Amino acid sequence: MSNIFKTDVAIIGAGPVGLFAVFELGLYDMRAALIDVLPMVGGQCSELYPEKPIYDIPALPSVTGQELTDRLMEQIKPFNPQFFLDQSADRLEKTADDLWQITTSDNNIIQAKVLVIATGGGLFSPKKPALDNIEAYENQSVFYAVKNVDQFKDKNLVIAGGGDSALDWALYFVPLAKQVTLVHHRDGFKAAPDSVNKMKELVASGQMNFEVASLDAIQGTAPQLTAIEVTNKVSGEKKLIPADFLLPFYGLTMKAGPIGSFGIQMENNLIPVDTEKFETNIPSIFSIGDINNYAGKQKLILSGFHEAALMAKGAFSYVYPDKKFRFQYTTSSTGLQKKLGVDA
């Protein structure tokens, strides 16, 4: 038996932009439910860079991906959104009484007057090295993202890759880990030149190791690895690098996922929207954040926040067709302050 949950606005994607949309909708009395395939909220911020500082959120000179997510959760608390986590939005239909009906992979059914697509980079999964039985070590001694830096302190780390993530984390862990070895298949990098120079200085001074090599095999007893076998790309020499953890950073593959079959117009896996309301080609379906596209679009969190505010104004006309949208400031509206629970 499926559970049916009714709300005003269903938001697919609980990344930073989907979360902030709850706030903007809540100010104007629209209840929201969020669906996310990940077991936690925060999208790219909490999945890909929870411990990295972001420097371009207005008025927050530095905030990590996880802190930003936590702050957004605090900000939307007064509106008590319903979360459907760890399940993807798989099917979209229209009910007889003109509601959008979303069925999730856990067979939950969410019905809403308005649908917001905030699926960002889509369903993302890490590109993995082709190593036998790597799955048996994943999330124990092989990690594709750093979520808890403490577990790597005083350990032997093998970091693989040549992009910004590999270099940034290698540099980050040099003072903390017992030993850091960067493994990349060539002596050329996609990472920022400044990071590459810093890495080379640390290698020259003996503070970290760098191998121009391919990863061949994991040694250990699953789920705990003990060493990584590599082959030097220049000499062909095989080598065993003692390791407690392997951190491969080979980038991500992003897929639009099931929303590609919802009938919403898409171009190059992005959803074209107008810039007045961020509505799609289907009335009452809106799209905000990294998944949408329009002239001048920048995939920035602050752009998504702006889009969420204008989307809420557009959504209001569907949720309350007989009411006029009345713009208000949170600083001066006692009505809004009451909703936020901060009325004096």
Residue 50 makes contact with ligand FAD by CB under 6 A: no
Q: Which of 48, 174, 228, 246 binds ligand FAD (CB under 6 A)?
A: 48
Identify the burial level of 154 via C-beta atoms within 10 angstroms of its C-beta, where 0-12 means exposed, 13-18 middle and 19 or more buried. exposed
- CA 65, 71, 72, 73 dihedral sign is positive
CB of 33 to ligand FAD, least distance (A): 12
Q: Does 81 bind ligand FAD (CB under 6 A)?
A: no
Which string of x and - marks every residue 107-146 that binds ligand FAD (by CB under 6 A)? Answer: -----------xxxxxx-----------------------
Q: Which stretch binds ligand FAD (CB under 6 A): 40-48, 73-81, 212-220, 273-281?
A: 40-48
* Minimum distance of ligand FAD from residue 165's CB (angstroms): 7
User: Toward ligand FAD, which CB reaches closer, 149 or 336?
Assistant: 149
Residue from 10, 22, 30, 49 touching ligand FAD (CB under 6 A): that is: 49
Applying CB under 6 A, which of residues 26, 43, 220, 248 lies at the interface with ligand FAD? 43
| Total residues found in the chain within this entry | 344
Cβ proximity to ligand FAD: between 133 and 261 the closer is 261
The first and second tokens of residue 100, run together, are: 């959008």
Cβ distance to ligand FAD smaller for residue 37 or 241: 37
Q: Which of residues 274-313 bind ligand FAD (CB under 6 A)?
A: 289-290, 299-302, 304
> Looking at 16-24, 182-190, 199-207, 223-231, which segment touches ligand FAD (CB under 6 A)?
16-24
Angle formed at CA 331 by CA 325 and CA 334, multiple of 5 degrees? 65
Q: Hey, what are 323's tokens? A: 């009411």
24 binds ligand FAD (CB under 6 A): no
Q: Provide the mask over 54-73, with x wherever binding to ligand FAD is found by CB under 6 A and - wherever it is not.
A: x-x-----------------
When asked if residue 247 is in the footprint of ligand FAD (CB under 6 A), the reply is: no
Site size for ligand FAD, by CB under 6 A? 36
The residues pairing with 6 across neighbouring beta strands, listed in sequence order, are 111
Helices (H) and strands (E) in the chain, counts: 7, 19
Span of 2-10, 38-46, 175-183, 209-217 interacting with ligand FAD by CB under 6 A: 38-46
13 lies in the binding site for ligand FAD (CB under 6 A): yes
State the minimum distance, in angstroms, from the CB of residue 164 to ligand FAD.
7
SS3 162: coil
Question: Applying CB under 6 A, does 211 fall inside the site for ligand FAD?
Answer: no
228 vs 144: CA distance, rounded Å? 16
297-317: b (≥16 Cβ within 10 Å) or e? eeeebebbbbbbbbbbebbbb
Q: What are phi and psi of 99, to 5 degrees?
A: -105, 155
Number of other CB atoms surrounding residue 95 within 10 Å: 11
Alpha-carbon distance of 7 to 31, in angstroms, equals 6
Q: In degrees, to the nearest 5, what angle opens at C-alpha 99 toward C-alphas 98 and 102?
A: 140
CB 90 to ligand FAD: min, Å = 7
Closest distance between ligand FAD and the C-beta of residue 290, in Å? 4
Neighbours of 202 (CB within 10 A): 19
- Binding to ligand FAD (CB under 6 A): which residues in 248-267? 257-259
Q: How many CB atoms lie within 10 A of CB 323?
A: 11
For 182, 197, 247, the CA distances from 201, given in Å and listed in that order, are 13, 6, 21
Other Cβ atoms closer than 10 A to 38: 18
Q: Which residues bind ligand FAD (CB under 6 A)?
A: 12-18, 35-38, 43-45, 48-49, 54, 56, 88-89, 118-123, 257-259, 289-290, 299-302, 304
